[in-house]
Amino acid sequence: MLTFEGKGIQAGVAIGKIKLWQKDAQTVKRRHIDDADAEMHRFSLAKEEAAKRLSALYDKALVEVGADGAAIFDIHRVMLDDGDYLDSVENIIRSEEVNAEYAVAATSENFVSMLLETGDEYMMARSADVKDISELLIKILTGADSSIVDDNELMIIAAEDLAPSETVQLDKSKVLAFVTEKGSANSHTAILARTMNIPAIIGVKIPDDCDNAPAIVDGASGKVYINPTDELREEMEKILAEEKSRRLLLEEMKGKDSLTLDGKKIKLYANIGNTKDLVLALQNDAEGIGLFRSEFIYLGRDSLPTEAEQFAVYKKVVQGMGDKKVIIRTLDIGADKQADYFNLCREENPAMGLRAIRLCLTRPDIFKTQLRALFRAAALGNLSVMYPMITSMAEVKRIKAIVKEIEEELTRDGIPYKTPEQGIMIETPAAVMISDKLAKEFSFFSIGTNDLAQYTLAIDRQNPCLDEFFEFHSEAVLRMIELVVKNAHKAGIWAGICGELAADTTITETLLKYGVDELSVSPSRILSVRKKIRETDIGNINLK
Amino acid sequence: MKEFTYNITDENGLHARPAGLLVKEAGKYNCSVTLKSGDKSADAKRIFAVMSLSVKCGDSVTVITEGADEDNAATSLKAFFEENL
């Protein structure tokens, strides 16, 4: 068995034969021409033909991979019409008295080096587009048409790189995975793999003698195994089977309501940690975002994010979700998870330290910047704000005073905003005990069962020695959930769960019996929880 | 001559797709359309020139229209930026 490791850009497992993709080696010959006008005419005809082919490729891709994947051919059409590109071709034909193929190839080289010189990763990846349209033109000019291998066998396509015009001509139902030597997470192969939802790995060169060899591609680890052992094959087949059952579930549950047998509608939302997860949430049919962790905006950088930067992110998220609800949790950072520029002191016990709302209340500058960005984005969609780690009414008072301040500032400065629905995380025993009072101050509760269990049971979940004392369905925690939901409903607000318990389908019935209105889970768990909800008859549950 | 300045909020900046749309939009007008970002400028009707400005999220760009239909062009390009970028 041979193992190659690259960078996985789309997760998933594929088992099949490697097919080495050979690009037709185009050698362009420089030829002297006498009649530049005639050569320009030849070029114009080729350009027309290329535009026609790109339109056809666009239509084909639109059907196969949707508008997002097809858009590239539309961009290629615009590139083909670029004034600078055309001027350069014409200039070379006329001034050097050379054939159109050569002029196109030379132009292509110049444009590629110009894009590479920008030093910008995204723009550098676009040089593949220039090469692609140029190769298409040359192919038409020389009359050498592409010979797309169309085996009747499922295959793992391995190539140096694949141009969009090549990938679109592949029979998608025959491609199991892509392995390319070049390319980036922004390349078209990557985008295509994501749209087709098949594994893809970049940065791996498959040796020529491996053509047709049996192989396994594991997109999650970025590994390619050639001539895999039986053991590995069995293991991977198992993963593949799980993935398949998940897809079947998707087909079965997508678009369905999260409705119990006795007709209670449950809000089934997704927990996400960055804007990329938004796609996953939508793919898995989330009805909204129940917990958007805003920490990623603050981490991995040297200074605080500005209001404008935050607004841009929140705007993208609310607009990306259409009119669906997006609940954004304000900064939940502490000594255990922080960026250096926060300058937090080291703490003996960060879980009980200066974190989340405590940090925001002691550093109102940070809190106000985030709130301003959130309130501004709230004017653009269905956004709610959620405050973490609440333990007292005094904190509530301080939050409300700061909210009032930023509302006055925004009004005074004539900046458009909307006061969003605001709720809190219930994740401390203190919040549970005063949840009757808290419920009168907010529009919703979201119970964070991970922290609530840790604080209630006084068990550090990071400490494996304590595992034998930790009960997933601790009665103490379940009773707290019951109490919180009761107090929420008394005040006329809804209560949901965004911790691990929300995705645990062995406890769903109990939670629904308590009257939980919302479950927020990681995107991949949405559909199995929906299935469970649809099988539950709340009226017929007898709790032990 | 008409001009306006816009602050890019799309997190990908002026990448290929919006650049393609912009070029198409600018191409609808007879007037010249120039895009300025920092000390660089580009003809907004030429996609490679637009892309090579490497406009990022948070950058501000100035759009200058000049010609008979400059008013129309400025109005609809402004709407285009607000909607797409």
Q: How far is B47 from chain A (nearest CA, A)?
A: 6
Q: Inter-chain contact B51–A123, Cβ cutoff 8 Å?
A: yes
User: How many A/B residue pairs have CB atoms within 8 Å?
Assistant: 61
| Cβ-defined contact of A75 to B9 (cutoff 8 Å) | no
CB contact under 8 A, A115 and B7: no
B20 closest CB neighbour out of A78, A311, A313? A78
pLDDT value at residue A514:
97
* Cross-chain Cβ contact A78/B24 below 8 Å: yes
Whole-angstrom distance, CA of residue A106 vs CA of residue A103? 5
Task: Give the count of beta carbons closer than 10 Å to the beta carbon of residue A172.
Answer: 14
User: Residue A344 pLDDT > 90, yes or no?
Assistant: no
pLDDT in tens, A163-203: 776 776 676 667 889 999 887 776 777 777 877 778 999 99
Model confidence at A144, in pLDDT bands (50, 70, 90)?
Answer: low
**How close does chain A come to B63, measured CA to CA in Å?**
19
Higher pLDDT, A138 or A186: A138
pLDDT of residue A145: 57
- Residue A70 has what pLDDT? 82
Residues A491, A443: contact at Cβ < 8 Å?
no
DSSP A269: E
**Residue A375: other Cβ atoms inside 10 A:** 24
Beta-bridge partners for B32: B66
Helix A475-490 to helix A449-457 angle (10° resolution) is: 120
Confidence bin at A493 (pLDDT 50/70/90): very high
A217 contacts: CB under 8 Å, gap ≥ 6 = A13, A14, A15, A156, A176, A177, A179, A199, A201, A223, A224
pLDDT at residue A19 above 90? no
The pLDDT of residue A152 is 59
pLDDT of residue A168: 67
Pairs from A335-339 (Cβ < 8 Å, separation ≥ 24): A337/A295, A337/A299, A339/A298, A339/A299, A339/A300, A339/A301, A339/A302
Low-confidence winner among A297-311, B3-17, B20-34, B66-80 (lowest mean pLDDT):
B3-17
Looking at the DSSP bridge assignments, the partners of residue A497 are A447, A519
Question: In this structure, are residues A185 and A219 in contact, taking their beta carbons and an 8 Å threshold?
Answer: no
Q: Which residues of A belong to the active site?
A: 188, 498
Greater confidence (A169 vs B13) lies with: B13
Contacts of A79 in chain B (CB under 8 A): 20, 47-48
Residues B47, A130: C-beta atoms closer than 8 Å: no
pLDDT higher at A144 or A420:
A420
pLDDT at A26: 61
Which residue of B9, B47, B57 is in closest CB contact with A79? B47
CA distance B17 to A69: 11
Inter-residue contact A129 to A7 (CB < 8 Å): no
ipTM of the complex: 0.87
The band of A114, judged by pLDDT with boundaries at 50, 70 and 90, is: confident
What stretch of H or E contains B37? strand B32-37
| Segment A393-430, tens digit of pLDDT | 999 999 999 999 999 999 999 999 999 999 999 999 99
Q: Which of A44-58, A152-166, A217-231 has the lowest mean pLDDT?
A: A152-166
A420 vs A471 pLDDT, higher one: A420
Cβ distance A120 to B54 less than 8 Å, yes or no, reads yes
Contact A82 B46 (CB under 8 A): yes
> Out of A123, A308, A313, whose CB is closest to B52?
A123
- Which pLDDT belongs to residue A544? 67
Residue among A349, A361, A373, A383 nearest A298 (CA): A373
**Band of the pLDDT at A497, cuts 50, 70, 90?**
very high
Does the structure show a pLDDT above 90 at A209? no
Residue B75, C-beta contacts closer than 8 angstroms, at least 6 positions apart? none
Name every chain A residue with its beta carbon within 8 A of the beta carbon of B11: 275, 312-313, 316
List the B60-66 sheet strands across, edge first: B2-7, B60-66, B32-37, B40-43
What is the predicted pLDDT for the residue at B11?
76
Encode pLDDT of A73-85 as tens digits.
Answer: 888 999 999 989 9
Q: How far is B15 from chain A (nearest CA, A)?
A: 8
Percent of chain A with pLDDT over 90: 55
**pLDDT value at residue A500:** 85
Per-residue pLDDT, A122: 77
Please give the Cα distance from A25 to A106 (Å, whole number): 16
Largest CA distance in chain B: 34
Tokens of A444: 């919703």
Q: Flag if B17 and A111 touch (Cβ within 8 Å).
A: no
For A114, the closest of B9, B11, B52 (CB atoms) is: B52
A114 vs B contacts (CB less than 8 Å): 48, 52
Helix (H) or strand (E) holding A72: helix A36-80
Q: Could you give the maximum distance between any two Cα atoms of chain A, in Å?
A: 94
CA separation, residue B33 to residues A336, A430, B69 (Å): 51, 62, 11
pLDDT band at A524 (very low <50, low <70, confident <90, very high): confident
From the list A21, A63, A69, A11, the residue with the least C-alpha distance to A192 is A69
Q: How many CB atoms lie within 10 A of CB A417?
A: 21
- Buried-state track B38-70, b at ≥16 Cβ within 10 A, e below 16: eeeebbbbbbbbbbbbbbbbeeebebbbeeeeb
Distance CA A24, CA A202 (A): 21
What value, to the nearest 5°, has the Cα angle with vertex A486 and ends A485 and A492? 85
Q: Over pLDDT 90: what percentage of chain B?
A: 9
Q: What is the pLDDT of residue A161?
A: 82
| Best residue in B52, B53, B59, B82 for a mutation probing chain A (most A CBs within 10 Å) | B52
Instruction: Report DSSP state, residue A206.
Output: P
Helix (H) or strand (E) holding B62: strand B60-66
Using a CB–CB cut-off of 8 Å, the residues of B that contact A are: 7, 9-13, 15-17, 19-20, 23-24, 43, 45-49, 51-52, 54, 57-58
pLDDT band, residue A235 (cuts 50/70/90): very high
H/E stretch holding B42: strand B40-43
Is pLDDT above 70 for A499? yes
Give the pLDDT mean for A92-96: 92
A86 neighbourhood in chain B, CB within 8 Å: none
Q: How far apart, in whole angstroms, are the C-alpha atoms of residue A192 and residue A194?
A: 5
* Residue pLDDT, tens place only, A370-384: 999 999 999 999 999
Contact, A381 vs A375, CB < 8 A? Answer: no
Interface of A with B (CB under 8 A): 71-72, 74-75, 78-79, 82-85, 111, 114-115, 118, 120, 122-123, 126, 129-130, 275, 308-309, 311-313, 315-316
* Candidates A83, A126, A309; nearest CB to B51: A126
User: Domains in chain A, please, with CATH?
Assistant: 25-142 (1.10.274.10), 263-537 (3.20.20.60)
pLDDT of residue A532: 94
pLDDT surpasses 80 at A23: no
Q: Which helix (H) or strand (E) holds A271?
A: strand A267-272
Q: Cα(B70)–Cα(B29) distance, rounded to whole angstroms?
A: 8
**From B2, B4, B6, B15, active-site residue:** B15
The alpha carbon of residue A292 is apart from the nearest alpha carbon of chain B, in Å, by 18
Give the pLDDT band of residue B68 (cuts 50, 70, 90): confident
What is the model's pLDDT at position A230? 92
Distance from CA of A191 to the nearest CA of B (A): 13
Q: CB-based burial of residue A51 (10 Å sphere; 0-12 exposed, 13-18 middle, 19+ buried)?
A: middle
Tell me, what's the pLDDT at A169? 65
When mean pLDDT is compared over A167-171, A336-340, A426-430, B79-83, the highest value belongs to A426-430
Among the partner-chain residues B10, B11, B20, the one whose CB lies closest to the CB of A75 is: B20
Q: How far is A114 from chain B (nearest CA, A)?
A: 8
Q: What is the pLDDT of residue A340?
A: 81
Query: Which pLDDT value is given to residue A286?
Result: 94
Q: Please compute the mean of the pLDDT values over residues A91-113 and round it to a whole number.
A: 91
How many angstroms away from the CA of B49 is the closest CA of chain A? Answer: 8
Measure in Å the smallest separation between the Cα of A131 and chain B Cα atoms. Answer: 13
Q: Flag if B57 and A83 touch (Cβ within 8 Å).
A: no
Report the pLDDT averaged over residues A329-349.
Answer: 83
Nearest CA in chain B to A82: B46
Contact between A118 and B52 using a beta-carbon 8 Å cutoff: yes
Contact A312 B49 (CB under 8 A): no
Q: Which residue has the tokens 């008295």?
A: A97
Which residue from B12, B23, B52 is facing A78, i.e. has the nearest CB?
B23
Residues forming a β-bridge with A426: A447
The DSSP annotation for A383-450 comes to EEEEE-S---HHHHHHHHHHHHHHHHHHHHTT------EEEEEE-SHHHHHTHHHHHTT-SEEEE-HH
SS3 A272: strand
Say how far apart CA B42 and CA B48 lie, in whole Å.
9
Domains and CATH numbers, chain B: 2-84 (3.30.1340.10)
Contacts of B19 in chain A (CB under 8 A): 75
Give B41's DSSP letter. E
> Does the pLDDT at position A360 exceed 60?
yes
